[in-house]
Chains A and B, each alone.
Chain A
Amino acid sequence: MANLDAYTSVRTALFVRIDVNEYRTTSSGSFAPEILKFSDYDSTFNILGFDYTPLGEFLTITPTTSELRPSSNSISVSISGIPTNNVAEVLYSKIKGSPIKIYRAYFDASTGTQIGATEGRFFGSINNFSIVDELSTTDRTSTSIIEFDCASSVDTLAQKLTGRKTNPQSQQRFYPNDLSMNRVPTLKGTKFKFGAQE
């Protein structure tokens, strides 16, 4: 946690990273992994080894509640001012389910230098997204707003079911060639005449 005791004024900026496993820019292009990185900072800034594109006012992230322990609140990330022809990239790519990480960094308002280390603010995955068109009749242009609905990892983990059960499907989900559990359904309810002389 950054120590802000010595500062009279600070600025904060949020940095968003979305790891899209299958991304493409055209409807017929091939999928490739892509990391989307952007921030509401006013210039390109490097954190954790990556440059984040400054979107400034174009990026809106709904506030989160700070709690002592991790909470399962969802969050919305909106990017506005996107040229209409760029919106297609989101539609062509498989955005849903992509992990999203939002970091927060503190800056000295007067010097612009970062204070302390970058902190995690929200880790989760994209549940859904929506696109809203904005048409300007005066200058005859249109832009779009993309809104990502993100579920917290805490919420995802709370609903996650893991582990193995003693049946062949469960065992072979992890180890496809293992036949050890194959006889469990057959044996269920089977009666053996242990010791019976024939």
Chain B
Amino acid sequence: MSFIDTLGGLAKGAYTFLSGKSIGSSLARTALLGYALNRINASANKANEQKDPGTEVLIDPDTEYKIPVVYGSAYVTGKITDAVMADNNTTMWLCLTLCEKTGNLIDNTPSSIAFNEVYFNNFRLSFGGNGYSVDYMWDDSNNNSDVWANQIEVYPFSGGSTSPVSFSSEGAGNTQNAYNIMPGWTSNHTMDNLVFCIVKINYSKFKKLTNIGEMKFKLTNTMSQPGDVLYDYMTNTRYGAGIPSQEIYKS
């Protein structure tokens, strides 16, 4: 008879004893349960005592990124041009510069760029009643979840810090100037003729919101006709050829 058989015999004996109906068996079961609960409780307390180290987030703006010009509809990711961490490291504020504001159409109507959709880590976001706090996230199959509800806020601007706009899918939106939202900004943070977004992300380990993610925006410019686009690109002195308009035969 090997030692394995001996051990097996002991285990069988212990199991028979614990599963028995005697008072001794019952007391033994209670003692074991109490010990197990005590260990679990100690482990939980230890975990609670450990401070959350957070997630190391690398902010990597590009000083050589050329701000694009969007005509018609396009998806843009933009570049981070400012970032501020606040509220004991639990809130991240980002400024994402998306594209240039374009000039006038040939008929002198000012062009405008609308925010159609916004994606966070490839999930489309929809907003609550205020038009800037996320209420649902949607996947490609149109399934939704409210796990990030009120954890992310997105404030779109089209043309500068004093040009807040709403998402075209929302009835309401932010009306404050960008420098009243972004921490540390003053009225000298004008973001002239830029289309951009200010994004607020609240850290939540339990909701798996521990990074700044990858944001993508669908923009639509009212300037989409070839003639308008060519004229704008030829005449614009900021991002175009800067040809005087009187040298272009518009008719």
Contacts and interface: CB of A to CB of B under 8 A. Distances in A.
A163 B239 contact: yes
B67 A163 contact: yes
Interface in B9-44: none
Interface stretch (B58-66, B127-135, B162-170): B58-66
Contacts of B63: 165-167, 184-185, 188
Interface residues of A, number: 32
A195 B205 CA distance: 8
- Chain A facing B: main interface SS: loop
Nearest to B69: A163
Contacts of A160: 241-242
B52 A196 contact: yes
Given A192-B59, A196-B52, A164 B241 contact: no
A157 B90 CA distance: 49
A195 B58 CA distance: 13
B110 interface: no
Nearest to B52: A197
B63 to A, nearest CB: 4
B83 interface: yes
Which interface class (under 10, 10 to 19, 20 to 34, 35 or more) fits B?
35 or more
Contacts of A164: 66-67, 100, 238-239
A180 B81 contact: yes
Contacts of B161: 180
Interface in A159-180: 160, 162-167, 174-175, 177-180
Nearest to A179: B188
A191 interface: yes
Nearest to B50: A197
Contact of A193 (B79, B89, B186): B89
Nearest to B64: A165
A162 B95 contact: no
Given A162-B239, A166-B63, A183-B82, A177 B188 contact: yes
B51 interface: yes
B5 interface: no
B62 A166 contact: yes
20 contacts: A123-B247, A162-B241, A162-B242, A163-B69, A164-B66, A165-B66, A167-B63, A179-B188, A180-B81, A180-B82, A183-B83, A184-B63, A185-B63, A187-B80, A189-B60, A190-B83, A191-B56, A192-B89, A194-B57, A196-B89
